[in-house]
Amino acid sequence: MMKKIALIGGVYSNYLALQETIKDARRRGVDAIYCLGDLGAFGPHPDRVFPLLSENEIAVVQGNYDHSIGNDLQDCQCGYTDPRDNYFAKISYDYTYANTSGENKRWMKALPPEIRLEMGGYRVLLCHGSPRKMNEFLWESTTPAHFLEKLCRDHQADIICATHTGIHWQVELPGDQHFANVGVIGRPENDGQTHVGYMILEVDPRPVFRYIPVEYDYRRLAREMQEEKLPEEFVETVLTGWWTTCLEILPAKERIRGKF
Amino acid sequence: MEASPALSYTSPPEVHPELHLDALDNLWFQVSGTLCNIACDHCFISCSPRNHSFELMTLAQIEPHLEASAALGVKEYYFTGGEPFMNKEMLDILERTLRYGPATVLTNGMLITPAKAARLQHLADNTRYSLELRVSLDGYTEAMNDAIRGKGVFKKAMAGVERLYAHGFLPIITVTKTWEDAEDEAVLQGFADLLKSHGYARPRIKILPSLKLGKEIARTQGYDRYEYVTAEMLEEYDCSQLICANSRVVTNRGVYVCPILIESPSARLGDTLEDAKRSYALQEQACYTCYLYGAICSNFSSGKRDA
Ligand code: SF4
Ligand code: SF4
Ligand SMILES: [Fe+2]
């Protein structure tokens, strides 16, 4: 029976952070590792992520990025509304699309939009944005508890795990139901720190989520991004921990905490 | 040549397409009715200091709807008018709302006194939810803005923006589009520069399409006779972009399908949120603007358009 699992959010081609995260999770003795989608975007060499996933038997939920690349769509469906954000999104999308093998594209196309598990009697639902919409943003400051309760009701789940926003948070709901946004390992959380992070869910016998910060060689990632001619704005985020793009999707509270 | 969907029929449709409420994600309150301290030329529901068509709402009127909204899983709350800060109970209403979820206030910024800004900051600091303020402007110079919104408005609105910024807010500047597409970049830059000159270094700017309703009909030319949404136009269309697919608005006279249509009798759906879950036939010409421009009311904004 599974008691302890690792939940990895958006990878965004950060294969260096993925290596460290897998090592960390193994050391903590997890029963299984799951990834909640968005394998590409932002970082360099998208194809380096896939062997790590298969070697470590990591089951993956389809993210909006994977859906877009897998289905040869024109853009990433990240839901940006600002022209500047879209400009940068397009650069990384075109780069990722051009550097992902046909085999990996087909593999991403076939990924499931959700994974369901049972842990100690709890119905666990893993999804990308939200259970109802792959690219829905669930931010801490704009997601009321009663809304999450409705998601649990509508989707027959006691525990829902998502990613997509890039910033982790969690909440316990009335009736022993739980929600966690597990964050991402693709880039830092807009808090001036260079680490990334993932979550461990342990059910023993009650569910507990723990956010685990992960250090990795971010200087090397930044160097490789520069070598691949990815935007300097992205490199700056890796080196400083502050977001320089995608700011317009942030709600007031999350935006104020950042630098830009 | 291919006809655009808008031109593909020659008389008003007899049957209007029904739009279902997917989920009640956004709950609006017409919290100051149609009462506003000013009277802008383009106001789509012709608000003014004397338009009592809709009245101010009390906390006691709002409370039961907040309670009902929780059971329905509402995601965000919006407050509009008129000018919400005309309502003496506005801050108490916000305090109560922020126990349920995130709140956004659409304001002209003019009535945000230092005391109100301080209390707003206190509310924002004591909730886990976001409190957004959207301040309307119509020009990045006093002359441009006041030509549309009235003499003296610009200075008072900017004072409100400065106070909000000083109290830890990043207000979203909301601008109704009254210029041609080609000028988009210049206008956005103008607003960004204006805000920076007032010390607001991380400007958030949101452009809204102009709705041809209320006084706006006199200002421009109103709708052409055949501008309606038809069933064919909705095929292959992402209806979730329309406010009425995921929102309702509560007024002192009942619950309406959306904030744009409160003056259309057809848009009143009932007394309670439960009544208002039913579908609505898109029969008004304003629906056509929504169709063309999509989600005009969400909070996403623009930084600056230098890309
Ligand atoms: S547009 Fe806004 S500020 Fe102007 S009259 Fe209407 S409600 Fe008042
Ligand atoms: S005006 Fe727009 S939001 Fe209102 S009912 Fe018509 S389409 Fe829906
Ligand atoms: Fe995503």
- Relative orientation angle of helices A83-98 and A232-240, to the nearest 10 degrees: 90
Q: Which residue, A252, A260, A190, is CA-closest to B171?
A: A252
Domain count, chain B: 1
Per residue in B231-254, pLDDT tens? 988 988 888 888 999 999 999 999
Chain B CB contacts of A142 below 8 Å: 75-76, 101-102, 129-130
Tokens of A152: 């649990």
- In-domain check, residue B9: no
- Answer yes or no: do B70 and A144 touch at CB < 8 A: yes
Contact A44, A187 (CB under 8 A): no
Query: For residue A232, is it within any domain?
Result: yes
Residue B6: which pLDDT band, with cuts at 50, 70 and 90? very low
Span B40-60, pLDDT tens digits: 887 878 899 999 999 999 999
Does B91 reside within a domain? yes
Two tokens, residue B56: 């101010």
Among B28, B29, B35, B40, name the best residue to mutate to test ligand 1's pocket (greatest count of ligand atoms within 8 A of Cβ).
B40
Residue B224's pLDDT is 66
Q: What pLDDT, on a 0 to 100 scale, did the predictor assign at position B307?
A: 28
Tell me, yes or no, whether B5 lies in a domain.
Answer: no
Number of domains in chain A: 1
Among the partner-chain residues B128, B168, B299, the one whose CB lies closest to the CB of A256 is B168
Who's near B101: CB < 8 A, 6+ residues apart?
A142, A144, A146, A147, B74, B75, B76, B77, B129
Q: Strand pairing partners for B268? A: B256
* Token pair recorded at residue B153: 């408005």
Angle at A59 between CA A150 and CA A39, to 5 degrees: 85
Task: Tell me the mean pLDDT in the region B262-266.
Answer: 93
The stretch B2-20 carries a mean pLDDT of: 66
Q: Give the tokens for residue B249.
A: 């608005």
B220 touches B212 (CB < 8 A)? yes
In a domain? residue A44: yes
Residue pLDDT, tens place only, B99-116: 999 999 999 999 999 999
Residue B144 sits in a domain of what CATH number?
Answer: 3.20.20.70
Using a CB-CB cut-off of 8 Å, the residues of chain B touching A87 are: 307
Interacting residues of A228 by C-beta distance below 8 A, sequence separation 6+:
A44, A45, A95
The mean-pLDDT minimum among A144-148, B37-41, B70-74 falls in B37-41
Whether B82 lines ligand 1, by a CB cut-off of 6 Å, is: yes
Written as six digits, the tokens of B207 are 């452009």
Query: For the domain that residue A131 is a member of, what is the CATH number?
Result: 3.60.21.10
* Domain assignment of residue B139, yes or no: yes
Distances B301 to B16, B42, B69, B260, B291 between C-alpha atoms, Å: 32, 21, 26, 20, 20
Q: Torsion over CA of B140, B143, B144 and B149, rounded to 10 degrees?
A: 100
Domain hosting residue A107, numbered range: 4-255
pLDDT at residue A80 in the model: 74
Tell me if B212 sits within 8 A of B178, measured CB to CB. no
Binary contact (B75, A84; C-beta < 8 A): no
How many Å is the maximal CA-CA distance in chain A? 51
Per-residue pLDDT averaged across B68-85, rounded? 97
* Model pTM score: 0.93
ipTM over 0.90: yes
Touching B: A residues 80-119, CB under 8 Å: 81-88
pLDDT digits (tens, 9 = 90+) for A183-218: 999 999 999 999 999 999 999 999 999 999 999 999
Q: Are B296 and B208 in contact, with CB atoms under 8 Å apart?
A: yes
Torsion, Cα of B37, B42, B46, B48 (10° steps): 10
Query: Residue A32 is which amino acid?
Result: A
Q: Which of A23, A7, A10 is nearest to A216 (CA)?
A: A23
Atom of ligand 2 nearest to the CA of B229: 7
> Across residues B114-120, what is the average pLDDT?
98
The pLDDT of residue B218 is above 70: no
Residue B237: give the domain boundaries: 18-306
CA distance B116 to B159: 13
Assess if residue A63 is contained within a domain.
yes
Q: What 3-state DSSP class applies to A14?
A: coil
Helices B90-97 and B59-72: crossing angle in degrees, nearest 10, is 20
Candidates B70, B50, B67; CA nearest to B59 is B67
C-alpha–C-alpha distance, residues B275 and B260, integer Å: 19
Residue given tokens 């909070």 in the structure block: B299
Give the total residue count for chain B.
307
**Is residue A260, in this structure, part of any structural domain at all?**
no
| Residue A223 forms contact with B (CB below 8 Å) | no
Q: Is the pLDDT of residue B145 over 90?
A: yes
List Cα–Cα distances, B55 to A230, B32, B160, B250, in angstroms: 55, 6, 24, 12
Residue located nearest, by CA, to atom 6 of ligand 2:
B287
Using CA of residue A33, residue A38, residue A40, residue A44, what is the dihedral sign?
A: negative
Query: pLDDT value at position B75?
Result: 98
> Cis link prior to A205 (omega < 30° from 0)?
yes
Per-residue pLDDT tens over the stretch A126-148: 999 999 999 999 999 999 999 99
- Mean pLDDT, chain A, rounded, equals 96
pLDDT over threshold 50, residue A17? yes
pLDDT of residue A81: 72
A31-40, A122-131, B282-291: the lowest-pLDDT one? B282-291
pLDDT of residue B301: 53
Question: SS3 sequence, chain B?
Answer: CCCCHHHCCCCCCCCCCEECCCCCCEEEEECCCCECCCCCCCCCCCCECCCCCCCCCCHHHHHHHHHHHHHHCCCEEEEECCCHHHCCCHHHHHHHHCCCCCEEEEECCCCCCHHHHHHHHHHHHCCCCCEEEEEEECCCCHHHHHHHHCCCHHHHHHHHHHHHHHCCCCCEEEEECCCCHHHHHHHHHHHHHHHHHCCCCCCEEEEECCCCCCHHHHHCCCCCCCCCCCHHHHCCCCHHHCHHHCEEEEECCEEECCHHHCCCHHHEEECCCCHHHCCEECCCCHHHHHHHHCCCCCCCCECCCCC
CB atoms inside a 10 Å sphere around CB B129: 25
* Protein residue with its CA nearest to atom 6 in ligand 1: B43
Is B3 domain-assigned?
no
Please indicate whether residue B26, judged by its CB atom, sits closer than 6 Å to ligand 1.
Answer: no
Q: What values do phi and psi take at A38, rounded to 5? A: 75, 70
As a dihedral over the C-alpha atoms of residue A59, residue A65, residue A71, residue A77, rounded to 10 degrees, the angle is 140
Give percent of chain A with pLDDT exceeding 90.
92
Separation between Cα atoms, residue B78 and residue B93, nearest integer Å: 11
Query: pLDDT at residue B287 above 70?
Result: yes
Per-residue pLDDT tens digits for A33-71: 999 999 999 999 999 999 999 999 999 999 999 999 999
Backbone angles phi and psi of B200, in degrees to 5: -95, 95
